[in-house]
Amino acid sequence: MELREVEIFLVLSEELHFGRTAQRLYLSQPRISQTIRALEVRLGGQLFERTSRQVRLTALGERLRDELRPAHDHFRRAVTVATDLARGVSGELRVCVASYAMAGPRFTEIVRDFQARYPDCRLTVTEEFPGEFARLRTGAYHLMCHRQPITEPDLTIGPTLSREERILLVRVGHPLALRGHATVEDLADHAVIPRGGIPSPMYEAYFPATTPAGRPIPRGPQISTTSDILHRIAHGELVHPTVGSFLSYYHHPEVTHVPLRGHPPVKSALVWVTNLENAAIRAFASTAAEVLARTGLSESG
């Protein structure tokens, strides 16, 4: 089996969905189907049961998955270790922030310190909402700044970047702005953003389905960028729970904020795929921990 075939098989065995597998690997769905069919012909048995409703591993598929996964993880880890030994902290380190509010108030200082310490490593930081973890798994990014909770077992949670109280963004002149605060119960009277690609545990922590009294919280129109969120808040289509550091990075003249009571503080952290960890990732995480300790914000993930 070729490495690409192994990756396609293993991702499909996780997703059990040809479309999501194609998206995750940035391949066409026919390419996924053709590869699996070719593997089944070569091995002489069916790896997946396919119906119009679901995809399931056969007993043969389960055995192949269990045999291949440790070997594949070991191979990727060996390549990473060899690359680290050859290059040290060099090459490129790609960091994704789903929103700069998730990066915390010291992120600029962390970036500046890392660049000063490791000039041979080219650091790029990209804002990409909603920060899907699939982008880490495919290698599009090496690190991500993301909100807790993070529950995916293949991810390492690094230094906590921030711990902040929640606020609610509303349009200027909104009744909640005039009152001066909001509660979770108030969310039942106003729409919030739909989940989209936001990981379920994080979305549910921010945007619960119901209030403590059991009232449903409406969902608004689909959004694609932070600017779109602000635009829709300004037009009264949404309210948006977030944290104070959001206001350090984003602004709209028709949007204001009030404290959001009844929710615990929110944490954000660095996160990366455990099996893809390399010297540059470790160096950035270490730099972040040192900066946060120096500024009194240190806290384990």
The pTM score is 0.66
Q: Which two tokens stand for residue 13?
A: 């065995």
Residue 51 CA neighbour count, 13 Å, CB half: 5
**Residue 85: is its pLDDT beyond 70?**
no
- pLDDT class of 301 with cuts at 50, 70, 90: very low
Can you give the pLDDT at residue 131? 77
Sheet holding 121-127, edge to edge: 121-127, 91-97, 143-147, 266-273, 155-164
The span from the CA of 276 to the CA of 213, in Å, is: 44
The span from the CA of 250 to the CA of 267, in Å, is: 19
When pLDDT is averaged across residues 112-118 and rounded to a whole number, the result is 94
**Higher pLDDT, residue 297 or 96:** 96
Alpha helix positions (H), 126-269:
134-137, 175-179, 200-206, 226-234, 246-249
* 3-state DSSP percent of the chain in helix, strand and coil, to 5: 45, 20, 35
